[in-house]
Amino acid sequence: MNNLIRAVLLSCALSAPIVAFAQTADHALTRADVRADLVRVEQAGYRPIGNDPNYPDDIQAAEAKVAAQQAQSAAARPSVAAKRTDAQSLASLDEHQLYDHH
């Protein structure tokens, strides 16, 4: 019985860091993020009301509009890679060797 208690305590102690690690996130969602997202979908045509019979469809349509607008604005901005010349991109290959991570 004593060995069983020790085994349970040991397994709990070893599994606690795993559970704590699984709960961490790179970017926690803040209230400001949620409010900004709500403003974007409202500007795209979504109107939040209490008893909306078209609930999943209208929010999904608004989110699709927002995603299309964001993709369009991202495509309109030139990327850093597009600004580089061929000589600059070849020089960057020398900076980052293939086997640097070994």
Across residues 68-92, what is the average pLDDT?
A: 68
> Residue ranges of the domains in the chain?
29-95
Flag whether pLDDT at 88 surpasses 80.
no
**φ, ψ (nearest 5 deg) of residue 90:** -70, -35
Q: What is the pTM of this model?
A: 0.48
Asked if 52 and 58 touch (Cβ cutoff 8 Å), the reply is: yes
27-52 pLDDT, tens per residue?
788 999 999 999 999 999 888 887 87
Taking all residues of the chain, what is their mean pLDDT, rounded to a whole number? 75
Nearest to 62 by CA among 45, 48, 49: 45
52-76 pLDDT, tens per residue?
788 888 889 999 999 999 898 888 8
Flag whether pLDDT at 18 surpasses 70.
no
